[in-house]
Amino acid sequence: MARPALRIRVAPKDQKDWGNLLRGGIQQVRVTLRALTLLRLAEGMTAPQIASLL
């Protein structure tokens, strides 16, 4: 039995902040992967889709 899709809502300000974080300078890998994952979840992607993307 599959788990239901994880739905999260991210405020536009937070999405903008994470986008800026990803565009600017050097970041730790785990910070970058977490920001990418949260942005993709907010776009409606599923966890398996994100896993294959990353």
- What's the pLDDT at 4? 74
Which pLDDT score, from 0 to 100, does residue 25 have?
A: 78
- Alpha carbons within 13 angstroms on the beta-carbon side of residue 17 total 7
Asked if residue 52 has pLDDT above 70, the reply is yes
pLDDT tens digits for range 13-50 = 988 888 888 888 787 888 888 888 888 888 888 888 88
Give me the pLDDT at residue 53, please.
86
Q: What are the residue ranges of helices labelled H in the chain? A: 12-23, 29-42, 47-53
CA distances to 13, 15, 22, 37 from 26, in Å: 21, 19, 9, 18
- In angstroms, the CA 31 to CA 8 distance is 18
